[in-house]
């Protein structure tokens, strides 16, 4: 399986922004993958290389990243074994040589890393999830004495209402999500979610809000200004779908608070409030007391470690507290979080770190320290569904893809439907059971 050819090109993502696509070829097998891109990015993420001074696509072009694949990264991995993902990723990391992949671009490096996995799967005549599970076992063996768990279909947490940088400045919080904890299988979970989403659109329209147009991740973007009102709409939509809020379906939030935090103050523009860290934690605790919220992502900003400690002290037994901008899928930052005992969960985005191996290292570190990993898409996505296979291969337990609208989202939900069928036995789906014994919610 010696790599014979590596080819990159510029294609477009779901926002019509340029991104990197890479093809890796050997022995008549080609693997192809496209790199995603965020909007509410964390300051500690790996570097996305864009040609800001270039007129092509108004300064958003990735032509230099493409060139780096074609002229530097590609030639350097010719002849290497495509199935040896860890060695290839190591070579890519060394070629860049910077801590945040800023020399060659994390988008260039990730494109090669992902396409290599597809090529290796094709060469071995196995599915991508099967090959990635093998890589996962290898990573597990190099990192820990624990056994790699079996592949499993993850519990989806699904965006219903969008705000923040993903919609029109309507709401300060970025995502209001539905989590179908009571569904026995993934297929049933997805059917519930689609029903809730349709009812939510109707409820929003009936109340005179926008219940048709959607944000970057397919969630509705109504001009509802308070997080309480948005949560209330999702609860009512769950009931309208004939389901029980709190037992069948819970709520999640991605506050993405880094984006309204400045100099120690949380500026809630739509909500008309300026809060310090303690008041921000009070606001979140109030929401948790009123709605069946079991997951909060980036409730506190990435630079506010004291605020994170307070949030963790107050809510850790009731809520999954996910660090996204806080950890940026980075092994070193997650290790620091574990040491400081903040958060209890980590969001995992492949392009925040830039290779498959490093992504898996972070998932492994999380699992070994009882932090829940949640595999996540970006707000800028494509038809590439790799994260569905990654979530299954690592048995991470949870996935966050966006809403059940827009095909760049459905590409992943549909891939999970296929994998559920291929794996048999409902894809070893644990669903909401993963929260049992961890969260002590009032009934």
For 143, phi then psi, to 5°, come to -105, -25
313: Cβ contacts below 8 Å, ≥ 6 apart: none
Tokens of residue 315, six digits: 């809510």
List the catalytic residue out of 21, 23, 48, 217: 217
Q: Is-contact 129 151, C-beta < 8 A?
A: yes
Site for ligand PGA in 152-191 (CB under 6 A): 174
Instruction: Identify which of residues 153 and 157 has a Cβ nearer to ligand PGA in the complex.
Output: 157
Which region, judged by CB under 5 A, interacts with Zn ion, from 44-52, 72-80, 164-172, 290-298? 290-298
Residue of closest CB approach to ligand PGA: 38
Site for ligand PGA in 310-329 (CB under 6 A): 324
Site for Zn ion in 109-138 (CB under 5 A): none
Site for Zn ion in 250-269 (CB under 5 A): 254, 256
How far apart, in whole angstroms, are the C-alpha atoms of residue 177 and residue 280? 19
Please tell me what DSSP assigns to residue 350: H
The interface partner of residue 89, options being ligand PGA, Zn ion, none and the CB cut-off 5 to 8 Å by kind, is none
Site map (CB under 6 A) of ligand PGA, residues 346-365, x = contact: -x------------------
208 — alpha (psi -120 to 50), left (phi > 0) or beta? left
Q: Is-contact 232 290, C-beta < 8 A?
A: no
The interface partner of residue 41, options being Zn ion, ligand PGA, none and the CB cut-off 5 to 8 Å by kind, is ligand PGA
Which region, judged by CB under 6 A, interacts with ligand PGA, from 229-237, 358-366, 376-384, 411-419? 376-384
C-alpha pair distances (Å), 86 with each of 126, 130, 212, 254, 410: 19, 16, 45, 32, 30
The interface partner of residue 77, options being Zn ion, ligand PGA, none and the CB cut-off 5 to 8 Å by kind, is none
Q: Is-contact 19 37, C-beta < 8 A?
A: yes
Residue 217 annotated among the catalytic residues of the structure? yes
Question: Which secondary structure element, helix H or strand E, spans residue 63, and what is its range?
Answer: helix 63-68
By the 10 Å C-beta count (0-12 exposed, 13-18 middle, 19+ buried), 288 is classed as: buried
Instruction: Identify which of residues 15 and 91 has a Cβ nearer to ligand PGA in the complex.
Output: 15
Residue 349 annotated among the catalytic residues of the structure? yes
Question: How many Cβ atoms sit within 10 Å of the Cβ of residue 210?
Answer: 17
How far apart, in whole angstroms, are the C-alpha atoms of residue 436 and residue 322? 17
Instruction: Identify which of residues 39 and 76 has a Cβ nearer to Zn ion in the complex.
Output: 39
The interface partner of residue 376, options being ligand PGA, Zn ion, none and the CB cut-off 5 to 8 Å by kind, is ligand PGA
Please tell me what DSSP assigns to residue 328: T
Site map (CB under 6 A) of ligand PGA, residues 328-347, x = contact: -------------------x
Q: Which of 379, 382, 386, 398 binds ligand PGA (CB under 6 A)?
A: 379
Site for ligand PGA in 17-56 (CB under 6 A): 38-41
Site for ligand PGA in 217-276 (CB under 6 A): 254, 256
Site for Zn ion in 295-314 (CB under 5 A): 297
List the catalytic residue out of 101, 297, 349, 420: 349
In whole angstroms, the minimum distance from the beta carbon of 376 to Zn ion comes to 7
User: Alpha helix (H) ranges present in 291-341?
Assistant: 305-315, 331-340
In whole angstroms, the minimum distance from the beta carbon of 326 to ligand PGA comes to 11
Sign of the C-alpha dihedral computed for residues 392, 393, 394 and 395 taken in this order: positive
Instruction: Identify which of residues 196 and 387 has a Cβ nearer to ligand PGA in the complex.
Output: 387
Instruction: Identify which of residues 14 and 152 has a Cβ nearer to ligand PGA in the complex.
Output: 14
User: Alpha helix (H) ranges present in 241-303?
Assistant: 277-290
Annotated catalytic sites, by residue? 217, 349
Binding site for ligand PGA (CB under 6 A): 38-41, 174, 254, 256, 324, 347, 376, 378-379
């Amino acid at each position: 399986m010696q790599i014979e050819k590596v080819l990159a090109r510029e294609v477009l993502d779901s926002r019509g922004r340029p991104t990197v696509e890479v093809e890796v070829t050997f022995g008549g097998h080609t693997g192809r993958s496209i790199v995603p891109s965020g909007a509410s990015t964390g300051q500690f993420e790996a570097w996305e290389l864009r040609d800001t001074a270039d007129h092509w696509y108004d300064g958003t072009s990735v032509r230099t990243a493409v060139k780096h694949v074609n002229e530097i990264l590609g030639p350097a991995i010719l002849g290497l074994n495509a199935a040896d993902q860890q060695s290839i990723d190591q070579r890519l990391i060394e070629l860049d040589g910077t801590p945040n992949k800023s020399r060659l671009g994390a988008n260039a490096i990730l494109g090669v890393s992902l396409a290599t996995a597809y090529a290796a799967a094709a060469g071995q005549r196995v599915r991508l999830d099967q090959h990635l599970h093998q890589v996962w076992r290898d990573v597990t063996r190099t990192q820990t004495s624990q056994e790699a768990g079996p592949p499993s279909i993850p519990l989806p947490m699904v965006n219903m209402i969008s705000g923040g940088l993903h919609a029109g400045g309507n709401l300060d919080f970025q995502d209001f999500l539905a989590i179908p904890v009571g569904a026995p299988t993934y297929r049933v979970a997805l059917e519930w979610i689609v029903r809730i989403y349709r009812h939510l659109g109707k409820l929003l329209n009936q109340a005179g809000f926008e219940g048709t147009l959607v944000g970057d991740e397919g969630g509705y973007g109504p001009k509802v200004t308070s997080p309480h009102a948005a949560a209330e709409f999702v609860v009512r939509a769950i009931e309208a779908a004939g389901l029980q809020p709190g037992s069948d379906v819970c709520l999640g939030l991605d506050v993405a608070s880094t984006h309204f935090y400045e100099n120690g103050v949380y500026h809630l523009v739509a909500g008309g409030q300026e809060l310090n860290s303690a008041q921000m934690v009070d606001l979140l605790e109030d929401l948790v007391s009123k709605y069946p919220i079991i997951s909060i992502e980036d409730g506190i900003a990435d630079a506010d470690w004291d605020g994170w400690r307070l949030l963790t002290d107050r809510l850790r037994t009731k809520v999954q507290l996910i660090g996204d901008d806080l950890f940026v899928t980075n092994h070193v930052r997650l290790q620091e979080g574990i040491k400081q005992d903040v958060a209890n969960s980590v969001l995992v985005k492949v392009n925040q770190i830039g290779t498959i191996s490093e992504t898996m290292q972070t998932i492994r570190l999380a699992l070994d320290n009882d932090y829940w990993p949640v595999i996540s898409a970006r707000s800028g996505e494509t038809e590439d569904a790799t994260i569905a296979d990654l979530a299954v291969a690592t048995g991470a337990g949870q996935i966050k893809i966006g809403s059940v609208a827009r095909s760049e989202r459905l590409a992943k939900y549909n891939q999970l439907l296929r994998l559920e069928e291929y794996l048999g036995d409902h894809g070893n789906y644990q669903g909401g059971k993963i929260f049992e014994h961890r969260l002590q919610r009032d009934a």
